[in-house]
Structure 1
Amino acid sequence: MLKTAAAAATGSALSSLGLRAASASTPRRGGTLRIGLGHGNSTDSYDPATFIGGFMQAFSFARYNCLTEIAADGSLAPELAESWEPSSDAKQWVFNLRKSVEFHNGKTMDAQDVIASINHHRGPESTSAMKPVVDQIAEIRSDGPNRVILTLEHGNADFAYTLSDYHMVIAPAHEETIDWQSGVGTGGYVVDSFDPGIRAALSRHENYWKENAAYFDNVEMLTIADANARISALLSGQLDVIDRIPFATASRVKSLANVKLVEVTGSQHYSFAMNTQFAPFDDNDVRLALKYAIDREKLVQNVLSGHGRVANDHPIGPAYRYEATQLEQRVYDPDRARSLLKKAGHDSLTVELSAADAAFSGAVDAATLFREAAASAGITINVKREPNDGYWSDVWMKKPFSAVFWRGRPTEDWMFSTVYIGKSPWNDTFWENESFARVVNEARTELDEGRRRSLYAEAQALVRDEGGAIIPMFANYLSATNLNVEHPERLAASDDLDGMRLAERWWFKS
């Protein structure tokens, strides 16, 4: 019942957010899907603990499966686990595995593969982005070849959701760990070649266990960081699908006769991360002053060209079950910002903000608009335009004030645990707050819906009022395809390109 209730609640929350197409043809097999993606790094590898960015997410979902998956309507669906049974306190979870699922190398998947794959992200030496999520597992064991039992330190009503993440793929067990070096999975496509940061080529796995999925014969994924180059390649017929359409060009792309603009409202949000370990960002009054010194409405209109909505300095938006809509929306107020600066002991303030369009489309423009708005509050923001190349390795979490984008996560606990809990590897503000950690931990184990909603509202308020992230806007996902590409009537709102599962879910028109 717990699984059913949770899935229904999320599905209801997201059902109005996914794109609805006018019609979709009957899926057919065949063809080569060519995808141009605005991300990808030379440091990318087959190791699922290191996956980062949309390229690796799409690449991961093409060749691997997880125990669970987020369906297009936002509900939680079975994948390699055909069912799961949580205990009444959500502390123990039993996953019943599908039988006769075959890896690309012919091996039959079993419980030991699942255990080794989950353990790959656990332990004191792990640097996986999923470590804070899987650290809650106290014990994992098999009960026969097709049954895995996980016992958590504390109850977690959303635990099954975490196993749908693109890092939490199931790979074949090898000795005490997994064989990730070969890239072998159970997914719809087999890797033919992989040149990190440049290109990946895949072909269909003919023994794929899903009957109505993975329709293409081949899939090619290309990293093309420049948005104009991606659009030109789509228009010239060199690509079939591209992501990250710049908001300023969305109207022009929509008007073109030979392409389709795909727009979905989801959980993607843009932020300016302040490192709370360093002055002046270690002073919450300074952080609040900067939050009041940004004109959110202007950013939505000028940076997103209206393709989004204002945010409230926390990451929980309309794609979540427990969005705290009752929280007062923070607005541009330079007088209040100036007053907060004085409270912090400053007559004026000068800070440097690092930005590059690699962070998000229009990041430099957003930083410039922030600078202009903040000037009225006595705040001088020196915008430093960083190189796109190496932004995520050399700037993000290295510079004290930087532009960032987040795709969001399927649940509140997952989003908070990934980015805002103190020791998370991706806590880009380095904010540590005991009250926040306590509230999130309590919400995680709370099974009463009303009480849980109240706790998550408190967590959102703490991030908004004390956290180190300025989150001014939620941005719609914008991508484009040629007229030959078809997709289901509803697209997932959990991420761009149908939750980055386009290789499995889309097809070519008959």
Structure 2
Amino acid sequence: MLIKTTAALCLLATAALAQQTDITIGMQLEPPNLDPTGGAAAAIDEVVYANVFEGLTRFGPDGSVQPALAESWDVSEDGTVWTFKLREGVEFHDGSTMDAEDVVFSLDRARAEDSTNAQKALFEAIESVEALDPSTVKITLSAPNGNLGFNLAWGDAVIVAPETADTNASNPVGTGPFVFTDWVQGDRVDLTRNPDYWGEAPALEKATFKFISDPNAAFSALMAGDLDAFPNFPAPETLSSFEADPRFNVIIGSTEGETILGINNANITDVKVRQAIAHAIDRQAIIDGAMFGYGTPIGTHFAPHNPDYVDLTAQSAYDPEKARALLAEAGATDLKLRLMLPPPVYARRGGEIIASQLREVGIETEISNLEWAQWLEQVFKGKDFDLTIVSHTEPADINIYARPDYYFQYDNPAFQTLIENIGITTDDAERSAMLRQAQQIIADDYVNAYLFQLAKTGVADARIQGLWENAPTQANDLTGVSWSE
């Protein structure tokens, strides 16, 4: 009897240890598809970036640009020719070889006239992509661009195979350390470790991304042990409960997420009205009320942790009297605007607060709560809105203001020229000065009302190691994640 009991205990201990190579990650939003080259939703990259798909370069947890499928690269003296040396022996998950022709295909596809890539502007400087041999790619630019390595690290620039590119939305096939195995829509995505990965094998054998939109349900799932981690936890008001519980670590970091009250500049054309909207908003009240104090006020579309950030919050400080005066000067009486809110907590809670603040200065809002797919279709693509709230989590993305057809429809030729010049300027001091100028221009034009930099509020089992503290890009990179005992 003692022998049987001991054997049973050993089996249980072995099973417990085996379970620690699995992880279940909570996410509030389910991705609309799983192809990072064909969608704008941050939730796509949160599942597949660095896990399933890889680019020539990648972002590290500190925001640095690191080698990925390219082990090295050289840049010509004039800065217009980049030559990438690819890693050898890399295979896609279907067993086919990844080589220079796949890189040519992927980048030409991303920059094609009919491309559906959400960040097509990343590839505008590329004049040609050539395969010099199976492991060497030459990219020729129309003008010098010191940002090419940075641009190619985005999820939108991952390398895909011609044979599977059209089905990546539902059955992603990449080169990463994890293989897609299942997507139960409305519930979860499952990944398993890639046994043929070219690089160091991850410690995890299986990863499940579980979609839980309700903050209360997210709290309960973590407390019950149904989730191992929630890297972007949607209920900051409950973080103190996790801080007091030794089973958990609360991980507070920064993100690239500029959270804005987006304004449709094609509908609200008078800068005085946009300025009035900005002055009607009490940023700290939104941070406190919607995010329970987590967030940093911003006055332009730039991350405060960036060394080139300019603090312009005072230019659009909370001033209801000034807001009312500006509306009177603009002749904007009885103004009623449509406020379209996507699912994130910062948007839904923040929207109610902003609606109240706008009402105080005489602007009524009609709130519509949209699901993520609806928001992407109606607001992001259709531009059918007046106001919206969204966090732009892409890194260093002030260049979106140089796209007149972007969803907030800001069209300033001088700003567009400035962004072009930034792209071809290699002198660090000059680039810094121009980036500061760019921040000032969009603040002066009150393109949007700038709210706060989104904090990364994560909760994880205290035994988990290797989750990113900060979010230099929108990712749940599991390559370095493991369990300690």
Distance 1:274 1:329 in 2: 17
Larger mean CA deviation between 109-118 and 463-472 belongs to 463-472
C-alpha contact 2:25 2:227 (8 A) present in aligned 1: yes
C-alpha contact 1:49 1:120 (8 A) present in aligned 2: no
Q: Which residue of 2 aligns with 1:381?
A: 364
Which residue identity lines up with residue 368 of structure 1 in the other structure? E
Distance 1:493 1:38 in 2: 16
Q: Which residue of 2 aligns with 1:493?
A: 471
Distance 1:353 1:300 in 2: 19
Shift of residue 291, structure 1, vs aligned partner: 0.7
SS of the aligned residue for 1:121 comes to helix
Distance 1:144 1:467 in 2: 50
Q: Does 1:507 align with 2:485?
A: no
Q: Which residue of 2 aligns with 1:183?
A: 172
Distance 1:254 1:381 in 2: 40
Using the size of structure 1 for normalisation, the TM-score is 0.84
Higher relative contact order (CA 8 A, sep 6+): 1
Distance 2:434 2:19 in 1: 47
Shift of residue 154, structure 1, vs aligned partner: 2.0
Q: Does 1:368 align with 2:352?
A: yes
SS of the aligned residue for 2:157 comes to coil
Shift of residue 125, structure 1, vs aligned partner: 1.0
C-alpha contact 1:116 1:178 (8 A) present in aligned 2: no
Q: Deviations over 1:340-368 (max 9, x none)?
A: 22232235533232335x1x314233223
- The structure whose Rg is larger is 2
Cα 1:362–1:328 change in 2 (3 A) is closer
C-alpha contact 1:62 1:189 (8 A) present in aligned 2: yes
Q: Does 1:311 align with 2:290?
A: no
Q: Which residue of 1 aligns with 2:288?
A: 301
Q: Does 1:333 align with 2:312?
A: no
1:232 to 220, 237, 241: 220
Q: Which residue of 2 aligns with 1:285?
A: 272
C-alpha contact 2:37 2:116 (8 A) present in aligned 1: no
Q: Deviations over 1:186-222 (max 9, x none)?
A: 10011111234532111111121222x5211111112
C-alpha contact 1:40 1:223 (8 A) present in aligned 2: yes
Runs of at least 5 residues in structure 2 that lack an aligned partner in the other structure? 1-17
Which residue identity lines up with residue 341 of structure 2 in the other structure? A
Distance 1:248 1:449 in 2: 41
Shift of residue 164, structure 1, vs aligned partner: 1.1
SS of the aligned residue for 2:111 comes to coil
C-alpha contact 1:92 1:152 (8 A) present in aligned 2: yes
Which residue identity lines up with residue 416 of structure 1 in the other structure? I
2:386 to 398, 401, 408: 401
Which residue identity lines up with residue 386 of structure 2 in the other structure? F
Cα 1:150–1:187 change in 2 (3 A) is same
Match runs of 1:72-471 below 5 Å: 72-174=61-163, 180=168, 182-211=171-200, 213-242=201-230, 243-278=232-267, 281-312=268-299, 314-325=300-311, 328-347=314-333, 349-356=335-342, 358=343, 360-377=344-361, 379-388=362-371, 390-397=373-380, 398-411=383-396, 415-417=397-399, 419-423=400-404, 427-471=406-450
Which residue identity lines up with residue 508 of structure 1 in the other structure? W
Count of matched residue positions in the alignment of Structure 1 and Structure 2: 464
Cα 1:429–1:376 change in 2 (3 A) is same
C-alpha contact 1:215 1:505 (8 A) present in aligned 2: yes
Q: Which residue of 1 aligns with 2:11?
A: none
C-alpha contact 1:67 1:163 (8 A) present in aligned 2: yes
* Same amino acid, percent of matched pairs: 23
Runs of at least 5 residues in structure 1 that lack an aligned partner in the other structure? 1-27
Using the size of structure 2 for normalisation, the TM-score is 0.88
Shift of residue 326, structure 1, vs aligned partner: 7.0
Distance 1:206 1:45 in 2: 21
SS of the aligned residue for 1:62 comes to coil
Distance 1:44 1:93 in 2: 32
